[in-house]
């Protein structure tokens, strides 16, 4: 009798766990004089000018858009765009870019009003993280995670990733010495020098890497929202894809029982600064167990574990495959000191090439004010003053989601999350001029009698209660409570 081994049963593969992701971006604002001289408006007044049309339409400076996103002016003068909830990486890229386009449109309108009033100023909105006074502002990522007892441990084991990922997804920065003793030099990130505590529950007192405030914007028994505070605002879509996609895969790995706890850093705050300042990626970081590791080694180790997890279990989307490929190539670029390997995809490399080539041609150093202006233009969201569109059109920055799809995302929410319900309701309310109170979870028609709807499942894009709410909007507005209507 011949015994043959039966072929191994094919292992069932699965897609990465479906996850809600949203990115909040604060924008820098300045009003440059067009006549020379000091700015005609300070940042506060410029921000108020920017939001004037929203406020004039009887709304506040805190609105939800037809695209399902939140557009608002918080304390301070940084206009903020928080993307709608996305459950795909490509939707997130479109939404993030929709934020830039929304801001650019608001600035164009504000500049037209200033010109009509003969105010000699032009408002610029900058998708960066440091203003002219040296104050920082943020770009926060939000990831839905399933509520589990060991969330806290998982969040902490991500700190080494958050500390070292800047060698891939940092937006690049020219670091100048205020004392003028050392020449200006190029580093990975603007944000690294602003961070203080590794994990904290407050964002205002200190600058943590992960905010642990428990505000899931969803069914609190099932979900948590992981709120990542450390991260640069990115211009290159490749950087955003890698930043968010790598975290998505790492969370999948951890939720599937993966472990990163042997890679804890002894001093994350020192490590984040050391990593930022060393473009070779070879600075030695101390681990909690006394070993040392370089940022490139640490990222390679994370990538290897994620890859093994993927190979064993996952069937990746095209976007996730791009994430792994770019992660690998980004590390190779740092390891070999060859930014050209990723110069059309990752911000730090694209910006470095732009600035160093300019400085070489002009025969200056990186501290030249013209280089600083070029660096700002990289982050300017204006289609003509800003460089992003020009670089993309010239093929110097790679587009992953094309411009029409990003433009569409301004008014069209992601189709597969509750943002679809919110965006539809907002659009209908705007068309019918009905008052609708909105937050991430709730929709309430302010007519005194239609029942509010709580959308506790961020994955649900269909809901009969919302259909009823839309139908209620179509009905003639009932009399306000407190007013007696009598028939003649």
Ligand X SMILES: Nc1ncnc2c1ncn2[C@@H]1O[C@H](COP(=O)(O)OP(=O)(O)OP(=O)(O)O)[C@@H](O)[C@H]1O
Chain positions contacting ligand X, by CB under 6 A: 20, 22-24, 70, 74, 82-85, 142-144, 215-218, 223, 225, 227, 440, 458
Nearest CB to Mg ion, comparing residues 80 and 91: 80
Cα distance between residue 268 and residue 423, in whole Å: 40
Question: Closest approach of Cβ 130 to ligand X, in Å?
Answer: 19
Residue 24 marked as a ligand binder:
yes
The burial of 56, by beta-carbon neighbours within 10 Å (0-12 exposed, 13-18 middle, 19 or more buried), is given as exposed
Residue pair 240/92 in contact (Cβ under 8 Å)? The answer is yes
255 a known binding residue? no
Whether 288 contacts 303, CB under 8 Å: no
Instruction: Give the separation between CA 323 and CA 239, rounded to whole angstroms.
Output: 10
| Residue closer to ligand X, measured from CB, 146 or 291 | 146
**Residue 70 annotated as binding?**
yes
Q: Are 378 and 190 in contact (CB under 8 A)?
A: no
The closest alpha carbon to 147, from 236, 214, 57, 238, belongs to 214
Report the nearest approach of Mg ion to the CB of residue 138 (Å): 8
Question: Which string of x and - marks every residue 5-34 that binds Mg ion (by CB under 5 A)?
Answer: -------------------x----------
State in angstroms the smallest separation of the CB of 376 from Mg ion.
23
* Residue 475: CB minimum distance to ligand X, A: 30
Q: Which residue is nearest to Mg ion (CB)?
A: 24
403 is in an annotated binding site: no
How far is Cα 172 from Cα 163, in angstroms, rounded to an integer?
Answer: 15
Distance of CA 121 to the CA centre of its chain: 29
Question: On the CB side of 149, how many CA atoms lie within 13 Å of its CA?
Answer: 0
Minimal distance, residue 80 CB to Mg ion, in Å: 5
Q: Report the residue closest to ligand X, judged by CB.
A: 22
DSSP 392-445: HHTTSS--SS-HHHHHHHHHS--TTSTHHHHHHHHHHHHHHT--EEE-SSEEEE
| Nearest to ligand X of 339, 413 (CB atom) | 413
- Active site residue: 42, 44, 74, 105, which one? 74
Per the document, the length of the chain is 488
Nearer to Mg ion, 204 or 486 (CB): 204
- Distance in angstroms (rounded) separating the CA atoms of residues 229 and 207: 8
Q: How many other CB atoms sit within 10 Å of the CB of residue 221?
A: 8
Question: Per the annotation, does 83 bind a ligand?
Answer: yes
Whether 42 is a known active-site residue: answer no
428 interface partner picked from ligand X, Mg ion, none, CB below 5 to 8 A per type: none
Q: What is the radius of gyration, based on Cα positions, of the chain?
A: 24
Is 22 or 386 the residue whose CB approaches ligand X more closely?
22
Annotated binding site for ATP: which residue ranges?
70, 83, 440
Point out the residues that are catalytic. 74
- Interaction site with Mg ion (CB under 5 A): 24
Annotated binding site for Mg(2+): which residue ranges?
24, 72, 80
């Amino acid at each position: 009798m011949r015994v043959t081994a039966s072929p191994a049963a094919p292992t069932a593969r699965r897609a990465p766990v479906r996850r809600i992701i949203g990115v909040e971006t604060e924008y820098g604002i300045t009003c440059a004089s067009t006549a020379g001289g000091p700015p005609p408006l300070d940042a506060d007044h410029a921000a108020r000018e920017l939001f004037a049309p929203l406020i004039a339409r009887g709304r506040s400076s805190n609105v939800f858009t037809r695209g399902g996103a939140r557009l608002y002016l918080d304390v301070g003068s940084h206009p903020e765009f928080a993307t709608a909830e996305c459950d795909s990486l490509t939707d997130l890229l479109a939404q993030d870019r929709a934020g830039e386009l929304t801001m650019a449109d608001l600035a164009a309108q504000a500049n037209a009003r200033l010109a009509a009033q003969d105010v000699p100023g032009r408002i610029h909105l900058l998708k960066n993280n440091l203003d002219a006074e040296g104050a920082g502002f943020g770009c926060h990522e939000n990831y839905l995670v399933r509520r589990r007892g060991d969330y806290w441990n998982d969040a902490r084991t991500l700190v080494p990733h958050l500390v070292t990922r800047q060698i891939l997804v940092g937006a690049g920065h020219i670091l100048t010495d205020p004392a003028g003793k050392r020449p200006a030099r190029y580093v990975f990130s603007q944000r690294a020098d602003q961070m203080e505590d590794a994990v904290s529950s407050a964002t205002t007192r200190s600058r943590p890497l992960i905010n642990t405030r428990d505000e899931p914007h969803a069914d609190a028994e099932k979900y948590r929202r992981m709120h990542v505070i450390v991260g640069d605002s990115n211009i290159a879509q490749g950087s955003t894809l890698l930043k968010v996609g790598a975290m998505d895969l790492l969370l999948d790995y951890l939720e599937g029982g993966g472990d990163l706890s042997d890679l804890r850093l002894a001093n994350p705050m020192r490590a984040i600064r050391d990593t930022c300042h060393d473009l070779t990626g070879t600075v030695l970081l101390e681990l909690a167990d006394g070993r040392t590791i370089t940022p490139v080694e640490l990222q390679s180790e994370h990538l290897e574990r994620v890859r093994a997890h993927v190979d064993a279990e996952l069937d990746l989307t095209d976007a996730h495959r791009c994430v792994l490929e770019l992660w690998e190539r980004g590390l190779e670029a740092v390891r070999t000191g060859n930014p050209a390997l990723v110069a059309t995809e990752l911000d730090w490399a694209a910006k470095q090439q732009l600035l160093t080539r300019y400085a070489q041609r002009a025969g200056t150093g990186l501290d030249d004010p013209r280089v600083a202006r070029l660096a700002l233009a990289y982050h300017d969201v204006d289609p003509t003053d800003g460089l992003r569109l020009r670089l993309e059109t010239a093929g110097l920055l790679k587009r992953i989601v094309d411009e029409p799809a990003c433009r569409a995302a301004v008014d069209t929410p992601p189709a597969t999350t509750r943002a679809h319900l919110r965006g539809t309701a907002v659009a209908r309310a705007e068309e019918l001029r009905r008052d609708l109170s909105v937050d991430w979870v709730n929709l309430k028609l302010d007519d005194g009698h239609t029942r509010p709807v709580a959308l506790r499942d961020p994955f649900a894009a269909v809901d009969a209660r919302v259909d009823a709410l839309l139908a209620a909007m179509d009905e003639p507005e009932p009399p306000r409570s407190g007013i007696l209507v009598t028939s003649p």
